[in-house]
Structures are given as C-alpha cells and as structure tokens.
Chains A and B, each alone.
Chain A
C-alpha cells in the first residue's frame, strides 16, 4: 500500500505522531486512596484530595509508579531514576484544584521504541519520546439539566500515563497499527486495560504533510480520537485537508482540532479552548520522585514475555508462520490459550483448530477468548484424541460442540457416548457387507462410475455411527468393490 497521498501537484507524505493517554490499571488513584472502578454512581469515588478541598495534600501511590516503570520497561525505554511532578494550571469546573499534577520537564520514562507489523509483512520502528504520569480530570456533564452543568469527579485524580511518540508514522494504517501494538503491550504488562470504549485509552494524533523527503510541515493536533477506526478516518481526512489547503495556496496553521466521528471530519477547537498558558512549575506538595535501581531491576525481572518476543518464539520453536504467530500474539489471552491448547500437539494443526473451530464459534456467540466456554486444556485433549486416532476429525468437531454447550471432559464424552473411532477391520467389513448386500443396484452403478464410492463411504459411516476410521473404510471399500487405485 502506498503511503503517499496524491495531490494535484504530485505526491505528499503524511507524518504522524501520537500522544496516548493510558489509564493506569490500579485500584486506587494516583494521589489518593479513592477507588477507580468504572461505572460507579457519580461522585461516589471522590476523596477530599480529589475534590481539591482546602488543606488537602497529594500522596503518591507507589503502585502507579511501579506500573509506569513497568510500562517504560515494556517500551524498551529509559526509566529515569529521578523525575518531578509539576502543576499544570488552568481553570475548569472538572479540575477541582485549578491545576493538574503532571510531569513536564522531567518525566519518569524517557526514550523507547515499539515495532509494528504491517499487512505487507513490513516492520516499522516507532520511537517513543517519553512517558509521564499525570492525573485525570473529572467529567463535566452538560446534558443533565436545561441550564446547569453537572460535574462528576469519579475520574478526578485517576492515574494516567501519557505516552508520546516521535513523528515516525507515515500512514493511517501505521497509526492504527501502532495503537493496536501499544494496546497489546500494556495489556500484556497488565498496566492498562486498553479499553477504548470506557476511555481507558485515548489518543491525540498529530498530523502534518510534506513533499517526500522535504522538511516537516506544520502539524495539527487532533484531540481524543477514541477508536482504531476513527484514527484512520481522522488521519485520512486531516492529511487530505492539509494537502488541499497547501495546494490551493493556503498555509496550515498549528492548531488543535477535534475529530467529529459523525461527520468523519476534523474541525478547529474554539481558540478560547486552546489559549492556555499552563504556568507549569514543580508541585511543592510533592518531593521529586527518586527510584532505586534495585527496585527498577526487580520490576524488570518480573516482566512477562511481550508480543515481539512471543512471536519470535512461536516462529522459532513452533515453526509457525510470521502471519500465524503475529495474529496469535495480539492478545495475551489468545497466545496463552494457544500455548495451552498446542501443548504436545503439532503446532500447525493447533493453529488451524484454534482459527477454524474456536475463534469461529466465539465469533458466532459474540464471545472473546477470555470467556471461552471450553478450556484450552479440553481442546488439547480433543486434539490429542485426533492425533492418536481415538476419534476422527469429524467426531472431534461434534465432541467440541457437545462440551461447548454442555460442558464436561471431552475424553469422558467420547467414552460415554461411544464415539471412539472404529479401527477394527472386521467390524468395518461387516458394515460394508451389510451395505453391499442391501444395495446391489448401487454396486453395479459404482463399477461404471467409481466416483459413487463416496456414497458407500457415507453409508458405512452411518452404519457405524460415524465412528469408523474413514481411511480404513476407504481402503476396504476399494478392495471389496474392486475399484481402481485412483478413484
């Protein structure tokens, strides 16, 4: 896919950088003990600190710091042993203290990198500029009363990680791939649930255009693009807008724009909304955050295997294709499920089973791998029964359907329902004899038209309740019906 967009005066390159706000997975807020659960009654999870009451002081939540460090390590980034919390000052009703505690000049995490895989098999490196910790604001509700606004402070003070990339992306596809990859990484790490619907992950996208190889153009920041689909739409629209503007003799103004998902377009925010002088200065209520290397090392040692490493291992140790491995590692739960499912089984047949049988049924039922009704272990049992020819592939699917809807252990189901594959030739021969005896006309027909052998196979399978080994049935039928080898 070409990364250039075509204007009237030739090709233009899109340059994209992102600022992602990822909510730290933590039961309590960044500077108070109040709860963070989603969906609580308005203002039910607000401490005096979160409400900006007089004389209240923030106290750093060590777990949130640990989560930021863990994320930094997962982004292969520099963790800064000393960082500073600053106040970002502005007035808004959902910002109770009149300032947001953030990190400005000295963030907790410095430069890192993320690799993204594109559809064509290309891998792109996206540089991470920094990650810093900050508080979320509350929420203003303008639709609850005809002439008043309400404020819900449940979100006020919740810990966010702002992750800033370098302007390393060149297409909406790359931008969406980056966000997917970042989401996968933080979910692997357990530092953010990545739930974009609940606002746990929100992205601001910086877009500019330039002539290929030329100097960077003026960028516009598109605020709060909160789904993968919207990112692609927003980037495409904004790049096209800038190209048209420049080509018609205009200049791009550096500004903040909002993406309107209904119209699929970006529009400038009112200048009043962006004319802030935030007057950053170090928060005197908080000491500089000093981390011990030993503590960082302990966190590093506890990191899980991340998507890139897992993918490489799946390819190297299990012989999976880059595509199969790449799909499997997008979700940690899926990769874990796969590994349990594939234990002791040929990896390719495990992948096929997962893709065709499990994901197909999940999709049908509107479920995810996390709430799959059949465990990976049960699937592993089924696959092992196919491998050792206890059951046929067809019976295996029936067994899966049974345990999918009724539960139970697949081995028990096979035993209790007598589904064990028939490999005893004398029993199969008996069934063949019966079918031949009952259908003399068909026997004549098949001699003229060997393709009709399939009908006999079906009848024999029916006679044996599907338990006959199909290969054995085929072979025996061919002998009995005196069919040519290649039929």
Chain B
C-alpha cells in the first residue's frame, strides 16, 4: 500500500493499517491532526480543542500497541460533536447556557470509541442544541464549509447541525467524527461537505450521555471520508445500553465484512414523492445517475411510493420542538450551566438565565413546542403529528415489501452562503425535506458523496434501509461510492498563511 505523504489525508482504514503495521505511531498521527486543527481555526470547526488530552491518549495507545493489545480503533484520532458529554471536557451543545458545563461522565458512544482505542482531538462546533441546518445557530459562531464554489471566495455553510464534524472530516482535521441526527443533522452536512454520514436505526446507538434534543428522533452516527470508514466507526459506536431503555438489543454485525458484496439482485426503490418542484436540475440528474450506477452493477430499480412524505416536515416540526421544549426545561440556571446575575426571585432567575442562555432558534423551537403541547392544542397538533408519524412509518414498511433499499437525494441543493437563509426559518427547515422522514420512521440512512454541481460543490445521495439493516445500507453506499469515483477535495484556502 502506498501511503500519502501527509497522514491527515489518510482514510480511517488507511490509518488503521498504518498503525497496526507500526508504520506510524498514534502520537505521530495525532500530532499531525493537532497541527492541522491549529492551522484550520478559520473554519471554526471546533468549540474545544483538546491537544494535550489527544497526545496523552495517543501515548497510552502507543503503549498498548507496544504490548500488542490493540482495539479496533487503536490510536486513531477522532473529533466528537459537542453534544456528546465527555468526562472532564467541557460540553456545550453549542449553547451559551452550557458554555461552562464540564460533565462528570462520558457518553456511552464516546466511551465505546475510547474503549476501542480511539483518541479524542476535541469537541466540534454545532448548531445550538442540534437545532439548525447550517451551523449558524451556534453560540460559538458559524462553522465555514471547507468547500467554496469554483472561482468564488464566498463563505458557505457546512450544513448542520453536525457542521463542525462535517467540516473537520472534509478538511482532514480528523480521521472521522461523531455526529447526531434528529432530522438530518448527520446526512445533510455530510452531503454538502462531500463526506459520508450514516444515521443508524433508532436504538442502534445509546443516547445515554448525549445532550437530548428530541429524544424519540435523536441518533448518533459516524461522519467519515469513505463508506468503509463509516462501517468501521459504526461498528464501534453501536451498542445496546442498559442505561438507555430505547436502545435495542440487536447484534451489531461486522459491516466491513459485507461491504464489498455489491448490489447484484438487490431491489432499489425510487420514491416518486422525493421529486420536488423547484429543486435544482442537478439534483434530479444526480439521482437518475445514481440509479443508473446501481442498475449497471446488477440492482433492480423499482418505482415506489411514500404517499405521506409531504406531511413529514410539518409532523417533524411539531414532534421535535415538543420534545425539545421539555428536554430543555432542565437548563434553568439552578444546578449547572449559565446563571443570570441580578435575578430578584426564582421566576426572574429562570427567565433571565434562559433568555441569556438560549439563542433565537432554540427559543423559537421551545415556543413552538410549548404551544403544541398546551391544553386545547395537544390534539390538534401533537396527537395528529404522532398519527402522521405512524402513517409515514407504514409508508416505508409498505415500500420495503417491493424493495430492499431506497435511493433518494440527500439534500434539495448544495451548500448555501452564510446568512443566506437565516432570515427565513421555513426555507432553512426545507433543507431537511429528504432526511426527516427517515428519523420519523426510525430507519437507517446514509449520505454518500455522488458528484459536484456545475459550480463545483458536492452533492450527496441518500440510501435508506430497513430497520437494523445498516449492513445493506453501507453495502449500497459503497457501490454508489465506487461508481461515483468522487475524489474531489476542497482547496485548503483556510490554512494559515
């Protein structure tokens, strides 16, 4: 195997092999990423960099390697979305209200990674409480997309909410990163940064220790440069957890082992409702191309219908804010997090702390959520949204009688400019039109880079699978990846001169 000269451009799989063969130490690898992160602060991908911890973990990893006891991710540096609680390391959820919060515990998913030998580089920036599709709602300022349109200096958003993770993977600031996906927060940023993002089945990863946004929708997943890397990370992140009643005890298969099995004989469904008016022509073109690629590799293309798709966004924007309004009630300035000064009684303390602690988008969603759960409105909104959710899930069940996976675009368009959609929440919410259905149905979905727009910006294709069938989703993703031959990388314009 020929290694690239700069280890930061390794894939996770390359790096794993290099470390195993002792061609590079974890410390050398980690140092390379620590330097890359320092040189890429312009992107604002990290809320908290943890170089000392990273190097200490790398040294511990090298000691284990020397003793011959190696975990599946031994010595491999990763970035962690700042929604995962990390013991002793500040965890902000992108919010002022948690800007001083240092958890005394480690999330199950991140602990799984450290148990596998991985190294933590730091905590990545994100939309506040994972509410956003552009990383612009972060208290810690927006993340910049490493990608820019051809011949343009305009800064673009990296998508959201896992924008920091997506940008750091795209800009080679880590080998892979964790994300969370409530309505598309892994797949959408992956799509607009030319990276791979997998949201597994609801219940596949433990939610314990992940700051909750909408509990019935939140799922952790990997963000990587290749589908293989996603398979490797997914295996390490997933586990049934007695501390999370909604995690599910389904054996986690060796996703890598079946990755190259191809799509011959698989039935790939094309849901007609995902063809939307006003989408840029390159979206439909790329979608058609994706179907052709799979067909050429032996898959059968089937037309299917998901008739309740048009209700998904409205249902999502009732269910998710409802749960969020309750989940975020604990940020009251009493026990941890930001506490306003000068409050004259408890109600004043709540109001001031929360007004100062939460940004506009979070406040908006708390208001929406409080409204839809209120007496007299519950049946009209929350109950109906839950019924729609059942119908949307049934759409998928029925579609999967005719096919094994679904192929759709991941986003309705490429990365947009910073500030372009901030004044219009609805246009912002529309970014998730292809991804929220999957969360509402609890299914696995992956976004795989499939090509560039004429302006040179990445687009992704989404593959949706049956519950707990991440193996097939990854396998089809790998076939798309192979056919797409997506090799473009952004120019490193951000690097400090």
Contact = CB atoms under 8 A, between A and B. Distances in A.
Interface string B335-364: 110000000001100100000000000000
Given A54-B91, A96-B330, A281 B212 contact: no
Contacts of B212: 54-55, 285
Contact of B335 (A52, A57, A287): A52
B208 interface: yes
Contacts of A284: 214-216, 246, 323
B245 A48 contact: no
B326 A89 contact: yes
B439 to A, nearest CB: 12
B209 interface: yes
B240 to A, nearest CB: 13
Contacts of B336: 53-54
A97 interface: yes
B72 interface: no
Interface string B209-241: 111101110000000000000000000000000
B334 interface: yes
A98 B346 CA distance: 13
A365 B326 CA distance: 53
A60 B346 CA distance: 31
Given A277-B375, A279-B373, A281-B373, A151 B245 contact: no
A279 B350 contact: no
B329 A98 contact: yes
Interface in B84-109: 84-85, 91, 93, 98, 101, 103-105, 107
Contacts of B211: 54-55
B243 A57 contact: yes
Given A281-B322, A281-B378, A281-B382, A52 B330 contact: yes
B136 interface: no
B329 A97 contact: yes
A30 B246 CA distance: 17
**Which among A54, A91, A96, A99 has the highest number of chain B CB atoms within 10 Å?**
A54
B348 to A, nearest CB: 12
A58 B347 CA distance: 27
A55 B245 contact: no
Nearest to B104: A48
B85 A279 contact: no
B242 interface: yes
Contacts of A287: 245-246
Contact of A57 (B91, B208, B350, B382): B208
Contact of B85 (A52, A55, A281): A55
Given A60-B245, A287-B246, A54 B329 contact: no
Contacts of A89: 325-326, 329, 373
A285 B216 CA distance: 7
A93 B208 contact: no
B207 interface: yes
Contacts of B85: 54-55
Interface string A265-281: 00000000000010111
Given A54-B91, A58-B245, A281-B322, A91 B374 contact: no
Interface string B189-208: 00000000000000000011
Nearest to A52: B330
Chain A interface category by residue count = 20 to 34
A281 B381 CA distance: 12
A98 B328 CA distance: 8
Main SS at interface, chain B: loop
Contacts of B242: 59
Contacts of B334: 93, 96, 151
A98 to B, nearest CB: 2
A434 to B, nearest CB: 84
A91 B350 contact: yes
A57 B212 CA distance: 9
A425 interface: no
A93 B329 CA distance: 11
Nearest to A149: B346
A51 interface: yes
Interface string A102-114: 0000000000000
A280 B326 CA distance: 10
B209 A91 contact: no
A315 interface: no
A293 B241 CA distance: 26
Interface in B239-265: 242-246
Given A89-B329, A286-B245, A54 B373 contact: no
A285 to B, nearest CB: 5
Interface in A246-290: 277, 279-281, 284-287
Nearest to A287: B245
B442 to A, nearest CB: 12
Nearest to B375: A277
Contact of A277 (B98, B103, B208, B374): B374
Contacts of A60: 245
Interface in B437-480: none
B137 interface: no
Contacts of A58: 245
Contact of A96 (B207, B216, B335, B378): B335
B128 interface: no
Interface in B59-93: 84-85, 91, 93
A59 B245 contact: yes
A467 interface: no
B370 interface: yes
A27 interface: no
Nearest to B319: A284
Interface string B377-392: 0100010000000000
Interface string A40-64: 0000000010011111111110000
Contact of A99 (B93, B216, B329, B335): B329
Nearest to A140: B346
A56 B208 contact: yes
Given A53-B103, A54-B93, A87 B335 contact: no
B367 to A, nearest CB: 13
Interface string A183-194: 000000000000
B432 interface: no
Contact of A48 (B105, B246, B326, B328): B105
A97 B214 CA distance: 15
A60 B243 CA distance: 10
A56 B346 CA distance: 24
B332 interface: yes
A280 B374 CA distance: 8
Given A55-B211, A59-B243, A97 B373 contact: no
Contacts of B93: 54
A159 to B, nearest CB: 16
B215 A285 contact: yes
A240 B243 CA distance: 52
Contacts of B326: 87, 89, 98-99, 279, 281
B2 to A, nearest CB: 43
A91 B351 CA distance: 11
Contacts of A149: 346
Contacts of A91: 329, 332, 347, 350
B208 A98 contact: no
Question: Lowest 7 CB-CB distances: which A-B pairs, in order?
Answer: A98-B329, A284-B216, A279-B373, A284-B215, A52-B330, A55-B209, A54-B211
25 contacts: A48-B105, A54-B98, A55-B103, A57-B208, A57-B243, A58-B245, A59-B242, A59-B245, A87-B326, A91-B329, A91-B332, A96-B335, A97-B329, A97-B330, A98-B326, A98-B329, A277-B374, A279-B375, A281-B322, A281-B326, A281-B373, A281-B378, A284-B215, A284-B323, A286-B246
Interface of A: 48, 51-60, 87, 89, 91, 93, 96-99, 149, 151, 277, 279-281, 284-287
Given A55-B84, A57-B207, 13 more contacts: A52-B335, A53-B103, A54-B91, A54-B93, A54-B336, A55-B103, A57-B208, A57-B245, A279-B325, A280-B378, A281-B382, A284-B214, A284-B246
